[in-house]
Amino acid sequence: MPDNLKSVPVLSSEITPKHLYMNRRDFLKAAGILTGSAVLAACVPQVSSTQSAGPSASGKTDELGDPVNSYEDITNYNNYYEFSTNKEAVAPLSKDFKTHPWTVEVGGLVSKPKIYAIEDLMSMFPQEERIYRLRCVEAWSMVIPWSGFSLASLLKAVEPLSKAKYVRFETLFDPKQMQGEGSPFYPWPYQEGLRLDEAMNDLAILATGLYGEALPAQDGAPIRLVVPWKYGFKSIKAIVKIELTDTKPSTLWSTVAPNEYGFYANVNPNVDHPRWSQASERRIGELARRPTLMFNGYSDQVAHLYDGMDLALNY
């Protein structure tokens, strides 16, 4: 197997010094790489000097030994069109977003459909920390310490029928709270989907927190999907409905721009976005670019899901 198709054992060692994050805007300007080209799943948080440092993740790293990104990064620059297309505006616009009470309806082709309160989900499925890399379409990447539970555990609880082949996810539609949903340019509510075998993979989680604290509204509270081998836009936020189906579900971005954002959206350095290369990426806080890893470095766990598929066509 080629080197870029291999995963690396989990390590834990160090964290990037805080000043590298706090001074990143000046650093990026000096390097001449601040642009206005961020479009879909940009994950390049801009640190505000007025924000507190937030929880510490000292000593925590991803499977490659790279330190987690700062709390300021993750919570102050968010791609969340339901609130705004301005990524720096999401945090202030979502500060009063109501995440309780909250329910998630799980149904479709299952034996035991049910509506779960968020508290029930968190008590039924014990929380664990997963430090995952998040690779964005615009060739940026982050390392985030999520907490949550496996999607597979919830799906097993509702007992999928043999006819079920896909899982459809839906975000809350509430334009009064989420003013971006008033935009006529997108087919609201936000929808995403996975094949059932992808959804049952142990890497796919439903996240309810990060940095050991409750998930902030701007990061998808109270519950969101995290699929670390796919580009960030697949990880739908503020989930209210999960439905198992026998047909491939429509997704917001594959509907709006099917030539740019396919259903699978697997991280693949060999398939360029129509407007830029995906062969390399820049980890926040670093100067040098690094080669993009196939499946974002999680090949050992997920490559078998795509045996026999042409990943240049099924992007």
Structural domain of residue 21, as residue ranges? Answer: 3-306
Query: Distance between alpha carbon 4 and the CA centroid of its chain, in Å?
Result: 21
Q: How confident is the model at residue 301 (pLDDT cuts 50, 70, 90)?
A: very high
Question: Quick check: 130 and 226 in contact, CB under 8 A?
Answer: yes
Residue with tokens 């080629």: 2
**103 or 72, greater pLDDT:** 103
Question: Quick check: 234 and 265 in contact, CB under 8 A?
Answer: yes
Distances (CA, A) of 279 to 7, 139, 268: 17, 8, 8
Q: Give domain status of residue 313, yes or no.
A: no
Distances (CA, A) of 166 to 28, 154, 163, 173, 231: 41, 15, 9, 22, 18
Q: Give domain status of residue 101, yes or no.
A: yes
Q: Give domain status of residue 57, yes or no.
A: yes
Mean of the pLDDT values across residues 21-46?
A: 36
Backbone conformation region of residue 81, classed left if phi is above 0, alpha if psi is from -120 to 50, else beta: alpha
Tell me what pLDDT residue 200 has. Answer: 98
Is the pLDDT at 12 greater than 90? The verdict is: no
Query: Which regions of 88-238 does DSSP assign to beta strands (E)?
Result: 103-108, 114-117, 128-135, 140-150, 166-171, 191-195, 205-210, 213-214, 224-226
**17 or 71, greater pLDDT:** 71
Q: Give domain status of residue 83, yes or no.
A: yes
The structural domain count of the chain equals 1
- Reading the block at residue 271, the tokens are 């398939």
Q: How confident is the model at residue 3 (pLDDT cuts 50, 70, 90)?
A: very low
Residue 2: is the preceding peptide bond cis (ω within 30°)? no
> In degrees rounded to 5, what are phi and psi of residue 153?
-65, -40
Which 3 state secondary structure label does DSSP give 131?
strand
Q: How confident is the model at residue 27 (pLDDT cuts 50, 70, 90)?
A: very low
Which 3 state secondary structure label does DSSP give 83?
coil
Q: CATH number of the domain that 92 lies in?
A: 3.90.420.10
Q: Give domain status of residue 155, yes or no.
A: yes
Tell me what pLDDT residue 41 has. Answer: 37
Q: Give domain status of residue 315, yes or no.
A: no
Q: Give domain status of residue 7, yes or no.
A: yes
Question: Quick check: 219 and 74 in contact, CB under 8 A?
Answer: yes
Backbone conformation region of residue 99, classed left if phi is above 0, alpha if psi is from -120 to 50, else beta: alpha
> In degrees rounded to 5, what are phi and psi of residue 181?
-75, 0
Q: What is the DSSP letter of 67?
A: B
In tens, the pLDDT along 91-105 reads 999 999 999 999 999
Burial grade of 112 (CB within 10 A; 0-12, 13-18, 19 or more): exposed
Tell me what pLDDT residue 287 has. Answer: 82
Q: Please give the Cα distance from 200 to 198 (Å, whole number).
A: 5
Is the pLDDT at 270 greater than 50? The verdict is: yes
Q: Give domain status of residue 311, yes or no.
A: no
- Reading the block at residue 174, the tokens are 């509430």
Question: Quick check: 245 and 109 in contact, CB under 8 A?
Answer: yes
